């Protein structure tokens, strides 16, 4: 039997706080659809019999009916492929979910919180779906395989060896001891494989904490013999780059440095400004001059290039001002508030020169 395993697609994610560019969220959502279509085309090309979706297919809070209709229409294009969905904590099987109120194509099976076994000609497929945004015990650890002479597969969303998790804590030892031939997990966004326990990772990267290849697992299982391959599907890559501003003496020079950054057509870039700044940096002003559409976020992590202790010892109005501002800095733990105080110091020093 041949199968595709995906998880954590998070369709219609709002991509909040990812960028100050308003159009980015819509662009990413369109790219998500493109990736989903690539999965279906691969299934058609390879005649894949099974598609396993281990939760967080979409975002319950933001999902649009048009998106559900789009993916269901894609499912209709692979009528001979059996599709099994185990809802997760972002797309639980609740009363007003599309899992519950939408009429899905006949080849789609959606698991709920009653652990169920589906018998097919190739395997016995066990599944569990969240019925709330948290799950502290799915009772998966109590499941026993009924027919060990067949291929046995488990599809579930959960946290492996995280006993205090509220997102379905699962025991690696317990799962391995049960004898499943393949365990299709979701929830962890980084691809990972522990023997036959597999997290495919997020199918589509959701931010700068999800770097590297994203995609799906293509597997074949026959008489207990398992082979798997990770198939990359990236339409975008989130990339972080640094610019040290210590030797940069003007806004114009900084803009030139940013403009010179080389970008790939699939990259979405976050630039971290580091080092000691010699001039006031206004990130929103920089956005106006940066024409490269691949640069979607600029983060100012620089420090002011002044010897504040030395300045505070001056017997001048400037010295008194700096001493008071240092006291404020020492009392403040919040990074954003510290940035505001540092900005006030810069402005004050400019006025008091």
Q: Per-residue pLDDT for 345 more than 80?
A: yes
pLDDT in tens, 110-156: 999 999 999 999 999 999 999 999 999 999 988 999 999 999 999 99
Sequence length of the chain is 353
- What's the CA gap between 100 and 238, in Å, rounded? 34
- What's the CA gap between 332 and 313, in Å, rounded? 21
- What's the CA gap between 224 and 19, in Å, rounded? 47
- What's the CA gap between 31 and 204, in Å, rounded? 9
- Listed residue (13, 201, 49, 64) closest to 125, CA to CA: 49
State the pLDDT at residue 90.
98
Q: What are the structural domains, with CATH classification, of the chain?
A: 2-232 (3.60.21.10), 237-352 (no CATH)
- What's the CA gap between 190 and 186, in Å, rounded? 10
pLDDT in tens, 18-68: 876 778 899 999 999 999 999 999 999 999 999 999 999 999 999 999 999
Could you give the count of Cα atoms lying within 13 Å of 201 in the half-sphere of its Cβ? 21
Q: Per-residue pLDDT for 252 more than 80?
A: yes
- Listed residue (4, 33, 6, 2) closest to 186, CA to CA: 6
Confidence of residue 284 (pLDDT cuts 50, 70, 90): confident
Let me know: does 119 contact 85? Beta carbons within 8 Å.
Answer: no
State the pLDDT at residue 353.
67
Say what the pTM is: 0.87
State the pLDDT at residue 310.
86
Q: Per-residue pLDDT for 282 more than 70?
A: yes
pLDDT in tens, 71-116: 999 999 999 999 999 999 999 999 999 999 999 999 999 999 999 9
Burial (CB count <10 Å: 0-12, 13-18, 19+), residue 105: middle
Let me know: does 2 contact 42? Beta carbons within 8 Å.
Answer: no
Q: Greater confidence, 145 or 349?
A: 145
Question: 3-class secondary structure for the chain?
Answer: CEEEEEECCCECCCCCCCCCCCCHHHHHHHHHHHHHHHHHHHHHHHCCCEEEECCCCECCCCCCHHHHHHHHHHHHCCCCCEEEECCCCCCCCCCCCHHHHCCCCCCEEECCCCCEEEECCCEEEEECCCCCCCECCCCHHHCCCCCCCCEEEEEEECEECCCCCCECEECHHHHHHHCCCEEEEECCCCCEEECCEEECCECCCCCCCCCCCCEEEEEEEECCEEEEEEEECCCCEEEEEEEECCCCCCHHHHHHHHHCCCCCCCEEEEEEEECEECCCCCHHHHHHHCCCCCEEEEEECCEECCCHHHHHCCCCHHHHHHHHHHHHHHHCCCHHHHHHHHHHHHHHHHHHC
């Amino acid at each position: 039997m041949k199968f595709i395993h995906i998880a954590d697609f998070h369709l219609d994610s709002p991509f909040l706080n990812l960028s100050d560019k308003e159009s980015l969220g819509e662009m990413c959502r369109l790219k998500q659809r493109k990736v989903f279509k690539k999965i279906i085309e691969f299934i058609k090309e390879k005649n894949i019999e099974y598609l396993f979706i281990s939760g967080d297919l979409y975002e319950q809070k933001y999902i649009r009916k048009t998106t559900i209709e789009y993916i269901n229409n894609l499912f209709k294009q692979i009528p001979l492929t059996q599709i099994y969905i185990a809802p997760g904590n972002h797309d639980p099987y609740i009363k007003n979910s599309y899992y519950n109120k939408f009429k899905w194509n006949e080849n789609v099976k959606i698991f709920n919180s009653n652990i169920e076994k589906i018998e097919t000609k190739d395997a016995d497929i066990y599944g569990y779906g969240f019925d709330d945004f948290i799950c502290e015990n799915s009772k998966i650890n109590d499941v026993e395989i009924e027919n060990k002479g067949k291929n046995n597969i488990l599809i579930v969303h959960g946290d492996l060896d995280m006993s205090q998790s509220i997102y379905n804590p699962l025991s690696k030892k317990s799962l391995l001891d049960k004898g499943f031939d393949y365990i299709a997990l979701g929830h962890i966004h980084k691809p990972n494989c522990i023997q036959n326990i597999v997290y495919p990772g997020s199918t589509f990267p959701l931010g700068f904490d999800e770097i590297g290849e994203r995609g799906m697992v293509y597997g074949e299982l026959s008489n207990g013999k398992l082979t798997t391959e990770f198939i990359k599907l990236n339409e975008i890559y989130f990339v972080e780059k640094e610019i040290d501003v210590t030797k940069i003496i003007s806004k114009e020079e900084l803009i030139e440095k940013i403009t010179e950054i080389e970008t790939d057509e699939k990259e979405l870039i976050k630039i971290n400004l580091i080092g000691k700044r010699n001039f006031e940096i206004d990130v929103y002003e920089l956005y106006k001059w940066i024409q490269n559409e691949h640069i979607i976020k600029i983060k100012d992590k620089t420090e002011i290039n002044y010897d504040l202790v030395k300045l505070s010892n001056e017997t001048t109005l400037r010295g008194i001002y700096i001493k008071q501002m240092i006291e404020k800095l020492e009392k403040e733990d919040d990074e954003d508030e510290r940035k505001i105080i540092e900005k006030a110091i810069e402005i004050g020093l400019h006025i008091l020169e």
